[in-house]
Structure 1
Amino acid sequence: AVYLLGRPLRGRESAGLNRGGTFGGVGAEMGRDAASASKQDSRIQRVYEEVLSSSQLRVSLQDVLPVTVVAVERYLAEIPPASNLPQPPASASPPRPAPLPSYCYDVTITDGMCQEKCHLAHEQNFLLHKNILQSGSQVKITQCSYMYNEKKLACGFLCIESLEIVGMCETPNRQKEYSEKLIMPLKGGKKHYLPLWNNEDPYGDMWVQNRVLEEATVNAKLISLSHLETSWRGKINYQPLLVRILHKSRLRYYGKPYAKADIPYQAYFEVADNSGMMSMVLWNSLCPEWYNIMKVGTVLLIEKYAVKTSYPFKTLPTPGDSQMKRFATIEINLNVRDPPTKINIIPEKMVKPEWNLPDVKYRFITRSELDSLPTSHSCDIIGLVRFVGRAERTRKREHGEDFWIHRWAHVVDGTSEQPFILELFATSQPDIFEHIHPMTYLVCTQMRVVRDVSQNASSTLYLTTSNESQMFVTGWHKGQPYAKDTKVKSFIQWIKTQREADHMEKTAIGGYYPFPPAPHTFVKYCNNNKVESVLTTISEMEKEIENLHYREHKRIAIQGIISVIRYVSCSSRTEDSSGVEPVQVQCLRINRQSRPGPPGLATISTAAHGPLCKKRLRDLAGSEVLNVLRPSPGGDRPPRPPMPSLCHNEERMSDASESEESEGTVHDSWQSDLWTRVKDNLKERFHYSNAFPESIPRKFDYMHKEFLMEQYNLHPAQHKPKEYKTKKAVNEFKSADYFGQYEVTILGINHDVAIDVAFLPVHSPEDLHIFYSENIQNDTLLSHMSCISLHSQETTNKEGLHKTLSLSDEIIKAAIDLERQHVICILDICHLAEDKVEVFLNKIYKIVEDNMMNQT
């Protein structure tokens, strides 16, 4: 069993246990403990005994039974050995840049009787980067070693060097919930763990959630913020401050491999009294003690604090009261020493009117007001969530291991047909961020307007969080200062007039969300891109994909030639009992009455084609044009890897397709003449046209709310018993208006490699695809590919999916217009987990823009 280490769970207070929870010594005392524990017949204990008895303190294990991973925890690694080398003289070469932070992982395992924390060897970190190894995994440990800390007595831990993952725990409710209380990591000198997927969220028991408030006496010997600003120099001790918190920033983790701080955290607050507003900084170990308790609106009595000149590059919130004076030259610093700060929270019921503390004020807007607001305008919003996307991660620095976590949401407030489109980054409120779901009431504060105006005056408009944003969902609104705001009250009155069913039918959760759209010009795309080389070669894409971490989203640009377009629809009518949605290849009957075309080409009937879009191109003239544009009956069908995601029987479909072809049908696809000549001589062809179940937004279902939220949040660091009884897989939930996709083959400009990617034309409820008119209005091919799916949806709703579908004349003509042309394709790539990577086409640029050549 993949059990390493251990001893029975006999109480962590035992003197023989080290900081990691394992036996720490050697010799007779450890042997006695181990012998006693072995009576429990623990698989982990047996492995522990075997590795300690090895002369190399390392063993390879065979025929072991699996153990369950109950926790995966991350912490900052020590300085790599190469970084400790002396720096070369300044005259010889420039100094080396500071190494990017890297991280270690501890894994806690259990066999049902024994629970043990082990270190994961660095070579196995990729299993966690890809979320292949995760809490709840069942693993077999095939090689492990024991490592002593040579600078401490009786201190050591087990290191997992090789393991085999055999599946997920099938009966999680029978496993003990992770309950480790020792917070210190096994390796190195770090004193705390970090959240598994980012650095901004509080994680672990050291973060205090509630505190018994001590009675504090507020005397007359207070100093105002205005007086403090004018008299702070030359002093060490200051009179107490009585202030109210008006704004709160997300946490900032500033740990470095070479830094000495034990708890390197920082958080900014904006506090105010009747004289004005000033920044206050919470440092280091005071962050776990106070950050969660200090809320917007909290009244503080602060004694023994430091005053320093303000950091000039920090962000500042926009005050709700535009008349409030801001003291920006200094900031209040709270630390555990120099001097040791004393903080008291004054309950709101004890706040006296004569203190004249300002109320928290907001800048709420309605959706109808948003269109007139300028870029970077700060505002607060409230609304009903209709859509929330999956949590994704974006790398902070190229090649680094630090990530931002974000998700998209659509929120309505009844003042407009359009929703608020929100880009929500983690705000150090994980309990709220992970519980945003459709039909909850969402409040977001200190949001910033993002408006990208194109040359034709259309614009992309959405709101994004700032460093000082706070979010609240249903269940968290009670007692919040914004409850008194007029626009919040108006929203509540509107909600009371609504029927829940009317909104439920428009909800969706998760899936691929192609927002924000790529800029309208490639020049602007280049200007917005911070990497050294904007363009990636098709051959380099494999490396890009290989380097993706779990849920990492990345947008890349490649040059190529559009060579094949194929429409694949997904029929809910053919879903089997397992809930897997088969992919059905749509075919067209050959119109044998039509005039024969050139040799080798088939003429296709267009009788079934109806109006596809309000802005459709004028009809193509002449059947000869159609003859040239359509593929031959034996047209290319690119080979594709197995698709367990949507298609469970590719072989059966292939047989069916061949059978239909023999009866005189063709695939609903188009291929260029160039493709027919080069496809058999390619050096490489990459297949990334799969749409996985996780790629498709699902209709929200209250009965399965907990399950759906779990699917689209990031995998938790700690294993917990499931709180739901859902037995369905995610692909058994009804999709949100998903009726198919396009597979697009992009040929490399040197005609030696190609890549298959997907395009999702319509993938969400009616208010979710509002951005398509902005995203693709200057992209003729994708514009018509989107329109055909809108048409297909109407056809499906009225006449069933069995109706014949086809590529429209507009799509074919747009593709022909691009034939043999070099274009730039913007691709959205995202690592979903394990070996599942989605690659979607977002935008196509023609290489005709002025100065474009200089941008790459």
Structure 2
Amino acid sequence: MLQFQLGLFCTGSILDHFPKKWNYFSSLFMVVLWVIEISLNPRSPASVVTVIPPKSVQPQWSLPDVPYNFATRSEVDSMNNNQACDIIGLVTYVGRVERIRSKEKTGPEKFWAYRWVHAVDGTTDSPFILEIFSSSQPEIFNNICPMTYLVCTQMRVCQTGCSVYLTSSTETQLFITGCHKKQPYVNEPKVKAFIQWTKTLKDSVMLRRTAVGGHYCYPPAPPTFTPTTNSNNEPITAVADLKGELESLQYREHRRVAVQGYVAAVQYHTWPPRPETPLSELQEGVSVRVVRDTGAANPPSTVEEMTLTQREMDSTSPDSDITVSPKRRRVQTGSRGVHRQYFTRSKMQSNRQAGLTSHEEEEEERWDEGELESEESEVEDEHTSVRQSPVGKEIVQTLQVPDVQQAASPPTALWESRVWPSVKQQVTDHFCCGRLDQESVPEKFHFDDREVLLHHLNLSPARWTPDLTSHTHTPVACTGYFTLTILGLKQMAAVDVLFVPVVSPDDPRAAGVPHTQHDNSLLSCISTGRLCVQPDGSCPTPGSLMSSAPQLESERVVCIVDLCLLGERRVEMICSKLYGTTDICQPDGTQ
């Protein structure tokens, strides 16, 4: 038996290291330190571990100091790819926990759980974008929330084009409020500078910048698409093959696929959903109006008219009769026990429900800054603000998470290609996603709802609690979304995907979309993921966006779709980028 001293006394044996177990190191010293593995005997004889306080460490032991390599946000952009660093920041956004399939073909772990986190340190307006994987610190991982001081060690820099983010490595350790006391890093110069910066902040101002949950995917797709070298190194998936992708999804599994086809139809829906209003004016061969409900969330405005092509309104009202072609079949799971939610038109019609009401609420919010300053501060009483948005108003709404995916409400603006009315009855598989799920929309963070929010964001609660009541859902800068119908190249299958544009810098996704100017056409908005501010400071209206939809006629596109199973019969299908014909490159580099 060997005895050794590493800040503690223990008895055990030293084994050869596993060269592929630890991948990322920030210094040569760590390479030397981590090329051995310590194995402690459970019995015969049992190991004895004695923790030595730092003050009791003897100089003659020659134990090295724990090295730190803290980097500020302004320094990360100039760091090399795969370089390791430590960071400290104030959390402003916490994403939901999702899972991806393990890339290792061996081992017990089939899925890796992770979440996206934003943190700021005052050195620049841009936040740290952190991809944090669940590790041996589940309590800390599950309790990361906005307004928390977060320390992440041994993070790895990932440079992808113009995007940079940090991902956790196998050596990463997490520290949140409640864990900082007596940690060695509190004496680091950059940590002290961060603490001084936080003393200049106004809590109520920072709280308004916080958000949680919603659809979030990073890094953004590249500006051009090459079939054999897209962002995920995956080949194009035929629209008809989406059935297998959807059926194999597991709970909270995120998967990105690329589908190729034509944009057959575009619909615009307001958000939050409102009580249904039959669109009696949507008839064959007539002008279709872009209706704005002045009594709900949108300000009074004139009615804009736009001429659309002939369409069959088989989902206009709940009482309308629906006829389905004999060739059309319902897309459902065959052998799996879980009943998926592939809605056909008749299914959507029967499940349609009225929208929910909205209201405004006042809240008093308080938070504890933790041991970094060893003092408490109170957040000022803040009236929840209702912010004017270019395409509507941000409102406060109490919503219940549905047990099943609900059908989309009637659109307020529509466009169809010339071929879609005649082709859609011949489509054998039509994958419909229903309306935008509440969990797909990021919401404001409220301290009073902290436990409820963490319960919804995490895969499972850390401990059993009684049923939690619904909380106040305050969407972050989301006033509407588009439903794109992508028709396969063979015109035998179609899929409906949702596109939620970024309309405000308050949206957490704004940190990951390019800020280049474009012409605010529908194709440009879907390609970049956001709306551009017009010279008068406003954003384009849904009507002006839909007026450019005819540019999509006969345009061959590649749609990058993010799939995520939110729960039983609730699949999220969101378009993160649309490539036009000019943006699709051949494997040899030609377009």
Q: Calculate the TM-score normalised by the size of structure 1.
A: 0.52
Match of 1:582 in 2: 274
Matched with 2:193 is 490
**CA displacement 1:387-420 (0-9 Å, x = unmatched):** 1000111111599972100000111111111111
Q: What residue number does 2:111 align with?
A: 403
Q: Where do 1:106-145 residues align within 5 Å?
A: none
Q: Is contact 1:306-1:339 (8 Å) kept?
A: no
Q: CA deviation at 1:852?
A: 3.4
**Alignment pair present for 1:828 and 2:551:** no
Match of 1:733 in 2: 473
Name the CA distance, whole Å, in 2 between partners of 1:517 and 1:525.
18
- 1:593-742 matches, within 5 Å, as 600=285, 602=287, 630-632=307-309, 639=345, 640=348, 647=355, 667-716=412-461, 719-721=464-466, 727-729=469-471, 732-742=472-482
Which among 54, 61, 78 is matched to residue 348 of structure 1? 54
Structure having greater relative contact order (Cα 8 Å, sep ≥ 6): 2
2:509 counterpart SS class: coil
Q: Which whole-Å CA distance do the structure 2 matches of 1:436 and 1:652 have between them?
A: 33
State the distance in 1 between where 2:290 and 2:23 align. Answer: 63
Q: Map of 1:459-470 to 2, 5 A cutoff?
A: 459-470=162-173
Q: 1:672 to 1:633 in 2, by over 3 A?
A: closer
Q: Which amino acid aligns with 1:326?
A: V
Question: What does residue 372 of structure 1 align with?
Answer: 78
**Offset of 1:716 from its aligned partner?**
3.4
Distance 1:689 1:651 in 2: 4
Tell me the residue number matched to 1:841: 575
Change (3 A) 1:653 1:783: closer
1:785-796 aligned at under 5 Å gives the runs 785=526, 786-788=529-531
Indicate the structure (1 or 2) with the bigger Cα radius of gyration: 1
Q: Does the Cα contact within 8 Å between 2:98 and 2:113 map onto a contact in 1?
A: yes
Q: Which moved further from structure 2: 561-570 or 777-786?
A: 777-786
Contact 1:560 1:748 in 2 (8 A): yes
Q: Is the 8 A contact 2:501 2:525 kept in 1?
A: no
Question: How far apart, in 1, do the equivalents of 2:434 and 2:243 lie?
Answer: 14
**1:199-348 → structure 2 map (5 Å cutoff):** 237-238=1-2, 240-243=3-6, 299-308=7-16, 310-319=17-26, 326=32, 331-336=37-42, 341-348=47-54
Counterpart contact for 1:508–1:765, Cα < 8 Å = no
* SS of 1:404 mapped into structure 2: strand
Question: What is the aligned partner in structure 2 of residue 200 from structure 1?
Answer: none
The verdict on how the C-alpha distance between 1:352 and 1:767 changes in structure 2, with shifts beyond 3 A counting, is farther
Structure 1 CA distance, aligned partners of 2:577 and 2:39?
Answer: 48
Give the aligned residue type for 2:202: R
Question: For 1:109-128, what per-residue CA distance to the aligned partner results, in whole angstroms no more than 9, with x for missing partners?
Answer: xxxxxxxxxxxxxxxxxxxx
Q: Report the counterpart of residue 379 of structure 2 in structure 1.
A: none
Q: Which amino acid aligns with 1:774?
A: P
**Contact 2:352 2:409 (8 Å CA) reproduced:** no
Deviations 1:414-456 (A, max 9, x none): 1111111111111210100110111111111111111111xxx
| Aligned twin of 1:357 | 63
Deviations 1:757-784 (CA, angstroms, capped at 9, x unpaired): 1111138752623345439989974542
**Equivalent pair of 2:433/2:497 in contact (CA under 8 Å):** yes
C-alpha distance in structure 2 between counterparts of 1:511 and 1:834, whole Å: 18
What residue in structure 2 maps to residue 107 of structure 1?
none
CA distance in 1, matches of 2:561, 2:120: 29
Distance 1:448 1:653, change over 3 A: closer
Deviations along 1:472-519, whole A, 9 cap, x unmatched?
111111121111111111111111110001111111111111322223
What does the per-residue CA deviation read over 1:768-812, in whole Å, with 9 as the maximum and x for residues that have no partner? 233454399899745425545977xx879xxxxxxx943325x64
Residue 367 of structure 1 contacts residue 412 of structure 1 at CA under 8 Å; is this kept in 2? Answer: yes
| 8 Å Cα contact 2:237-2:258 kept in structure 1 | yes
- Asked whether the equivalents of residues 224 and 585 of structure 2 are also in contact (C-alpha less than 8 Å), the reply is no
| Paired residues of 2:224 and 2:579 also in contact (CA < 8 A) | yes
Change (3 A) 1:715 1:316: closer
TM-score by length of 2: 0.73
Which residue identity lines up with residue 438 of structure 1 in the other structure? P
Tell me if structure 2 keeps the 8 A contact 1:511–1:694. yes
State the alpha-carbon separation in 2 of the partners of residues 419 and 567 from structure 1. 31
Equivalent residues of 2:476, 2:506 under 8 A apart: no
Greater mean alpha carbon deviation, residues 640-649 or residues 544-553? 640-649
2:323 match: none
Asked if 1:761 corresponds to 2:462, the answer is no
Within 2, Cα distance between the matches of 1:484 and 1:642? Answer: 63
Return the offset for 1:696: 1.2
- Work out whether residues 382 and 442 of structure 1, in 8 Å CA contact, stay in contact via their aligned partners in 2: yes
Instruction: Give the structure 2 partner of residue 560 of structure 1.
Output: 261
Contact 2:215 2:442 in 1 (8 A): yes
Superposed counterparts of 1:469-488, under 5 Å: 469-488=172-191
Partner secondary structure for residue 807 of structure 1: helix
Following TM superposition, by how much is the alpha carbon of 1:536 offset from its aligned partner in structure 2, in angstroms? 2.1
**Cα distance between partner residues in 2 of 1:474 and 1:718:** 20
* Unmatched tracts of structure 1, length 5 or more: 1-236, 244-298, 454-458, 572-580, 591-598, 607-625, 658-666, 797-803
Indicate the residue corresponding to 2:243 in structure 1. 542
**Helix, strand or coil for the counterpart of 1:757?**
strand
Amino acid at match of 2:159: R
Paired-residue identity, %? 36
Contact 1:423 1:462 in 2 (8 A): yes
| Code of the aligned partner of 1:808 | S
Amino acid at match of 1:355: W
Q: Shift of residue 702 of structure 1?
A: 0.6
Matches of 2:434 and 2:517, distance apart in 1? 24
Any idea what SS the aligned residue of 1:769 has? helix
Alignment partners' CA distance in 2, 1:781 and 1:651: 24
Residue 353 of structure 1: CA displacement? 3.2
1:748 aligns with 2:488: yes
**1:517 lines up with 2:220 in the alignment:** yes
Q: CA offsets per residue over residues 84-143 of structure 1, 9 Å max, x none?
A: xxxxxxxxxxxxxxxxxxxxxxxxxxxxxxxxxxxxxxxxxxxxxxxxxxxxxxxxxxxx
Cα 1:383–1:547 shift into 2, 3 Å: same
**Structure 1 residue 646 displacement after superposition:** 8.4
* Residue correspondence of structure 1 range 3-152 to structure 2 within 5 A: none
Aligned mates of 2:122, 2:560 — CA distance in 1: 35
SS at 1:541's partner residue? helix
Q: CA deviation at 1:352?
A: 2.3
Please give the alpha-carbon distance, in whole angstroms, between the structure 2 residues aligned to 1:789 and 1:436: 33
Q: Distance in 1 between matches of 2:35 and 2:311?
A: 75
How many angstroms does 1:356 deviate by? Answer: 2.8
**What is the one-letter code of the residue matched to 2:194?**
F
1:551, CA displacement in angstroms?
0.8
Q: How many residues align?
A: 491
8 Å CA contact 1:446, 1:469 repeated in 2: yes
Q: For the Cα contact (< 8 Å) 2:157–2:165, is it kept in 1?
A: yes
Distance 1:647 1:409, change over 3 A: same
Q: CA RMSD in A?
A: 4.0
Instruction: Name the CA distance, whole Å, in 2 between partners of 1:525 and 1:503.
Output: 43
Q: 1:704 to 1:789 in 2, by over 3 A?
A: farther
**Gapped regions of structure 2 (runs ≥ 5):** 292-303, 316-344, 358-405
Show CA shifts across 1:829-851 (max 9, x none).
Answer: 11111111110011223456443
Q: Distance in 2 between matches of 1:763 and 1:712?
A: 24
In structure 2, relative to structure 1, the CA distance for the partners of 1:373 and 1:807 (3 Å cut) is farther
